[in-house]
């Protein structure tokens, strides 16, 4: 599909890369159809589509042999142009993000336009040799307009469902580190060829920057502030890995599943730890099965005290982020259950260890 399919635009590559990003970082939103397919919310595919194409169009990189900027692209209509004009950041277009007023309306319209284009174009023309679609779609009925928009599982599913063959989905999950570079290489080749037809030579630095997926920021300020506030109020905050009482001078915030292996600053992944443990012992390693099991009670206690107690906004964010990024989470709409989140973290830990061979930390040196 990447190398041999005929392409009159970059749309097939865009769809495959949008799926690749979904499988790598938002697999928790996928479901089962009871057969040979995995179900993926069409809104999630459309969201990733916007994240991929916004910087490309802003940089005036051609996506067809004839287009310049947004002209001539089926998805670049009212909503997309509004996002482009507002210079919407890719980092804002993430699962769990919230929008109000005009921003909510523009994004909703852009997602609807992208979902329609994906359905009509690349999903229709990516076919098996016998002509059947590889990625069939059933459309949903998304709201016509919204004053407040939350990019959660319910909303993203309202656009419809894409059915992805299970073997393809598993390949995207396990081998994204190899598949995505192939997609990027072919996409860049097409854009250079389109630019040449237009009598242009692309700036390679600008092209590379626009093709880079913007990972989440490594931001630990919120849990750190919550831990310091708890200390100020006389509460005791413990190191997740050693059980040692922490002081402001020894407090660090650790990524349970290390950032170096899996860039994720979701609330569930940010845990208080002693600075010596975080920076000198655990570092960029996965907690072993035994280390994670020993820390279980401390992890659950931290989640409850920091995120799942009084603040409804934090409860919602914790829930949305966990459902988006972790596997085997319960259906949307159920009350967040910290035990189920812990189980999903353990499963994701196993996947990272098996698929990426991330080194483990036993915790015996603590």
3-state secondary structure labels for all residues of the chain: CCCCCCCCCCHHHHHHHHHHHHHHHCHHHCEECCCCEEEEEHHHHHHHHHHHHHHHHHCCCCCCCCCCCCCCCCCCCHHHHHHHHCCCCHHHCCCCCEEEHHHHHHHHHHHHHHHHHHHHCHHHHCECCCCCECCCEEECCCCCCCCEEECCHHHHHCCEEEEEEHHHHHHHHHHHHHHHHHHHHHHHHHHHHHHHHCCCCCCHHHHHHHHCCCCCCCCCHHHHHHHHHHHHCCCCCECCCCCCECCCCCEEEEECCCCCCCCCCCHHHEEEEEHHHHHHHHCCCEECHHHHHHCHHHHHHHHHHHCCCCCHHHHHHHHHHHHHHCCCCCCCCCCCCHHHHHHHHHHHHHHHHHHHCCCEECCCCC
pLDDT-derived band at 319, boundaries 50, 70, 90: confident
Residues 116, 50 share a domain: yes
Q: What is the pLDDT of residues 243-265, one digit of tens each?
A: 999 999 999 999 999 998 888 89
* Residue 128 vs residues 35, 123, 140: alpha-carbon distances, Å: 18, 11, 25
pLDDT at 78 over 90: yes
340 within domain boundaries? yes
Percent of the chain past pLDDT 90, that is, above it, reads 62
Q: Decide which of 211, 235, 262 is a domain's last residue.
A: 211
Q: 54, 88 in Cβ contact below 8 A?
A: yes
5 within domain boundaries? no
Average pLDDT (214-220) is 79
97 within domain boundaries? yes
Average confidence score pLDDT of the chain: 90
Residues 182, 78 share a domain: yes
Total domains in the chain come to 2
Residues 329, 297 share a domain: yes
Average pLDDT (161-186) is 94
Q: What is the CA radius of gyration of the chain?
A: 22
* Domain hosting residue 287, numbered range: 222-361
217 within domain boundaries? no
Residues 232, 143 share a domain: no
1 within domain boundaries? no
Q: What pTM was estimated for this model as a whole? A: 0.72
Please give the residue that has the higher pLDDT: either 289 or 205. Answer: 289
Residues 103, 18 share a domain: yes
pLDDT-derived band at 269, boundaries 50, 70, 90: very high
112 within domain boundaries? yes
pLDDT at 233 over 90: yes
What contacts 299, CB < 8 A, 6 or more positions away?
A: 240, 256, 271, 342, 345
The 10 Å Cβ neighbour count of residue 114 is 28
Residues 106, 42 share a domain: yes
How large is the angle between the packed helices 338-356 and 166-197, nearest 10 degrees? 70
Q: Decide which of 153, 180, 211 is a domain's last residue.
A: 211
Residues 301, 183 share a domain: no
pLDDT-derived band at 192, boundaries 50, 70, 90: very high
Q: Decide which of 176, 211, 246 is a domain's last residue.
A: 211
pLDDT at 333 over 70: no
pLDDT value at residue 33: 87
Residues 234, 85 share a domain: no
Burial 279-316 (b: 16+ CB within 10 A, else e): eebbeebbbbeebbebbeebbeebbeebbbeeeeebbe
pLDDT value at residue 335: 60
Residues 167, 37 share a domain: yes
pLDDT-derived band at 334, boundaries 50, 70, 90: low
Residues 238, 143 share a domain: no
Residues 287, 154 share a domain: no
Residues 235, 182 share a domain: no
4 within domain boundaries? no
pLDDT at 94 over 90: no
78 within domain boundaries? yes
């Amino acid at each position: 599909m990447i190398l041999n399919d005929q392409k009159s635009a970059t749309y097939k590559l865009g769809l495959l890369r949008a799926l690749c990003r979904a499988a790598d970082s938002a697999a928790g939103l996928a479901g089962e159809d009871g057969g040979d397919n995995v179900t993926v919310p069409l809104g999630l595919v459309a969201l990733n589509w916007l994240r991929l194409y916004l910087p490309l169009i802003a940089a005036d990189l051609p996506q067809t042999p004839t287009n310049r900027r947004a002209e001539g692209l089926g998805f670049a209509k009212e909503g997309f142009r509004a996002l482009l004009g507002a210079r919407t950041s890719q980092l804002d277009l993430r699962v769990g993000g919230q929008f109000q007023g005009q921003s909510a309306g523009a994004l909703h319209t852009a997602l609807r336009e992208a979902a329609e284009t994906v359905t009509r174009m690349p999903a229709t023309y990516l076919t098996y040799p016998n002509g059947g679609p590889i990625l069939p779609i059933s459309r949903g009925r998304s709201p016509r307009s919204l004053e407040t928009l939350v990019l959660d599982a319910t909303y993203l599913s309202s656009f419809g469902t894409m059915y992805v063959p299970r073997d393809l989905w598993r390949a995207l999950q396990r081998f994204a580190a190899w598949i995505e570079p192939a997609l990027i290489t072919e996409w860049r080749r097409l854009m250079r060829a389109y630019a040449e037809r237009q009598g242009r030579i692309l700036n390679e630095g600008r092209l590379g920057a626009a093709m880079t997926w913007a990972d989440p920021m490594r931001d630990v300020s919120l849990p750190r502030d919550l831990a310091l506030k708890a200390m100020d109020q006389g509460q005791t905050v413990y190191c997740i890995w050693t059980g040692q009482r922490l002081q402001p001078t020894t407090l660090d915030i650790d990524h349970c599943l290390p950032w170096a292996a899996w860039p994720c600053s979701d609330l569930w992944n940010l845990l208080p730890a002693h600075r010596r443990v975080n920076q000198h012992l655990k570092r960029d390693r996965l907690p072993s099965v035994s280390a994670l099991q020993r820390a279980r009670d401390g992890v659950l206690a931290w989640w409850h005290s920091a995120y799942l107690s009084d603040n409804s906004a934090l409860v919602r964010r914790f829930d949305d982020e966990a459902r988006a990024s972790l596997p085997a989470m319960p259906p949307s709409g159920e009350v967040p259950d910290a035990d189920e989140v812990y189980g999903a973290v353990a499963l994701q830990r196993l996947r990272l260890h098996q698929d990426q061979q991330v080194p483990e930390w036993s915790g015996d040196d603590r």
